[in-house]
């Protein structure tokens, strides 16, 4: 098996739905980041482009994105849809192709535009057809299709795990505080690119406070836990990393940022999807015979503060190494891109802390979890 390395990568600033990228389709947003990556790393021979996408127009939107970016027609490109896990899954697929000797250089990650996602409806021939109304959230489990199903899942998880609003408030405040510090310190200057004159991640709230959190109403009718503050916003964004083989490094005399050790996926109860993060994290630690204290940085996509609380309860001694720049509660969660975003944040955090081993983890709609273990070079 060949070793797989990460040369580096880039992400867009993350926009709020109907905000800075309101009129930029997913394939254009992704193409802008893709072009800047090719320029930055002077890439001439690309074996594959793999992109995660959750709510785009389909039709292998990654191939469309590659063509929009002016990539050579000969470069194959394909799309991975594992919903929230899509970006990290795309990178895992790319890594496996290199490990197997089927490629030497791959650009992988993800992109999403909630602002321009298609309006979807069922065909009259489909058993779920009722009328010509549109839906935005896909069907994630048999017999149930509701727009708020992910929020319902987070609400149910909080209820079953006896998670309180006060526990979640702590993580909301922490996320915005650390994200603001990261912005002030310009930690992401080497991994962010401006598109449409964007200058910052739109979701970070400098004035987030307990007083404000106490005023935020619950989202669901009769809900007791989930609010617009402890659930991530709806977002647009794109992020990709460059993967390569040792052969490519030697031929081009390059030094990588990190080596991918391996990755894993798992499934959990679909209505308790936030638990997929902890399940996949435990799985990759067991797979590599590691203890939590062996990991220098944990980066987990905090789509809900419920996930933060679950991490804190299961990994009590690791909080100082967890999401040190804040997480998706502040930055946002452009579904298909988020796996690549947290991997880029993980690389940045390992460099800042001079760490060696890092783990990126994400929970996905439908009861999924994905994790990736990397070693900083």
Tens of pLDDT, residues 83-122: 999 999 999 999 999 999 999 999 999 999 999 999 999 9
Global pTM exceeds 0.95 = yes
Tokens standing for 194? 């401006």
Q: Which helix (H) or strand (E) holds 280?
A: helix 275-287
CA distance 344 to 357: 14
Confidence (pLDDT) at 367 = 98
Residues 24-44 have a mean pLDDT of 97
Is 302 within 8 Å of 328 (Cβ atoms)?
yes
Closest CA to 63 of 83, 79, 52, 47: 79
Is 29 within 8 Å of 237 (Cβ atoms)?
yes
- Per-residue pLDDT tens over the stretch 11-33: 999 999 999 999 999 999 999 99
- Per-residue pLDDT tens over the stretch 351-367: 999 999 999 999 999 99
**Domain extents for the chain?**
4-116+233-252
- Per-residue pLDDT tens over the stretch 179-219: 999 999 999 999 999 999 999 999 999 999 999 999 999 99
Residue linked to tokens 């503060």:
305
Closest CA to 81 of 260, 336, 366, 375: 336
What pLDDT band is residue 43 in, cutting at 50, 70 and 90? very high
Tokens standing for 84? 């929230």
Is 81 within 8 Å of 54 (Cβ atoms)?
yes
Confidence (pLDDT) at 1 = 87
Tokens standing for 174? 């922490």
Confidence (pLDDT) at 168 = 98
Confidence (pLDDT) at 131 = 87
> Residues, the chain, total?
377
What pLDDT band is residue 146 in, cutting at 50, 70 and 90? very high
CA distance 375 to 168: 31
- Per-residue pLDDT tens over the stretch 290-311: 999 999 999 999 999 999 999 9
Phi, psi of 143 (to 5 degrees): 70, -5
CA distance 304 to 219: 13
pLDDT-above-70 percentage for the chain: 100
State how far the alpha carbon of 200 is from the alpha carbons of 6, 24, 118, 226, in Å: 25, 17, 26, 26
Confidence (pLDDT) at 114 = 98
CA torsion 198-14-91-354 (nearest 10°) is 90
Indicate the burial class of 141 (C-beta count within 10 angstroms; 0-12, 13-18, 19 or more).
middle
Is the confidence at residue 132, as pLDDT, over 90?
no
DSSP 218-241: BSSTT-SS-BTTTB--BEEEEEEE
Q: Which CATH number fits domain 4-116+233-252: 3.40.47.10, 3.40.50.300, 3.40.50.2300, 3.40.640.10?
A: 3.40.47.10
| Average pLDDT value for the chain | 97
């Amino acid at each position: 098996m060949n070793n797989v390395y990460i040369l580096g990568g880039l992400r867009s600033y993350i926009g709020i739905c109907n905000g800075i990228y309101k009129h930029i389709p997913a394939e254009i947003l992704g193409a802008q980041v893709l072009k800047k990556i090719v320029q930055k790393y002077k890439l001439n021979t690309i074996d594959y482009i793999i992109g995660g996408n959750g709510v785009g127009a389909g039709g292998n939107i990654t191939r469309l994105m590659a063509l929009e970016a002016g990539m050579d027609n000969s470069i194959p490109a394909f799309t991975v849809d594992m919903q929230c896990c899509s970006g990290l899954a795309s990178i895992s697929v790319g890594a496996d192709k290199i490990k197997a000797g089927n490629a030497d250089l791959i650009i992988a990650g993800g992109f999403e535009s909630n602002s321009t996602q298609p309006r979807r409806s069922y065909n009259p021939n489909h058993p779920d057809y009722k009328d010509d109304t549109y839906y935005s959230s896909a069907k994630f489990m048999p017999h149930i299709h509701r727009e708020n199903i992910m929020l319902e899942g987070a609400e149910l998880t909080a209820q079953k795990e006896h998670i309180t609003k006060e526990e979640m408030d702590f993580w909301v405040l922490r996320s915005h505080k650390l994200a603001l510090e990261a912005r002030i310190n310009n930690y992401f200057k080497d991994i962010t690119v401006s598109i449409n004159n964007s200058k910052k991640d739109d979701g970070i709230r400098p004035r987030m406070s307990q007083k404000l959190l106490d005023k935020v109403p619950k989202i669901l009718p009769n809900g007791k836990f989930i609010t617009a503050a402890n659930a991530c916003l709806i977002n647009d964004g794109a992020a990709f990393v460059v993967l390569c083989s040792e052969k490519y490094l030697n031929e081009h005399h390059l030094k990588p940022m990190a080596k991918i050790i391996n990755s894993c996926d798992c499934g959990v109860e679909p209505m308790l999807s936030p638990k997929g993060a902890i399940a996949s994290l435990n799985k990759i630690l067991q797979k590599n015979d590691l203890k939590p204290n062996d990991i220098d940085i944990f980066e987990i996509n905090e789509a809900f503060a419920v996930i933060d609380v679950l991490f804190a309860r299961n990994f009590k001694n690791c909080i100082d190494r967890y999401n040190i720049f804040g997480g998706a509660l502040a930055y946002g969660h452009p579904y298909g891109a988020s796996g690549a975003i947290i991997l880029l944040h993980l690389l940045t955090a390992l460099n800042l802390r001079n760490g060696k081993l890092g783990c990126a983890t994400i929970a996905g709609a439908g009861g999924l979890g994905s994790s990736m273990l990397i070693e900083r070079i």
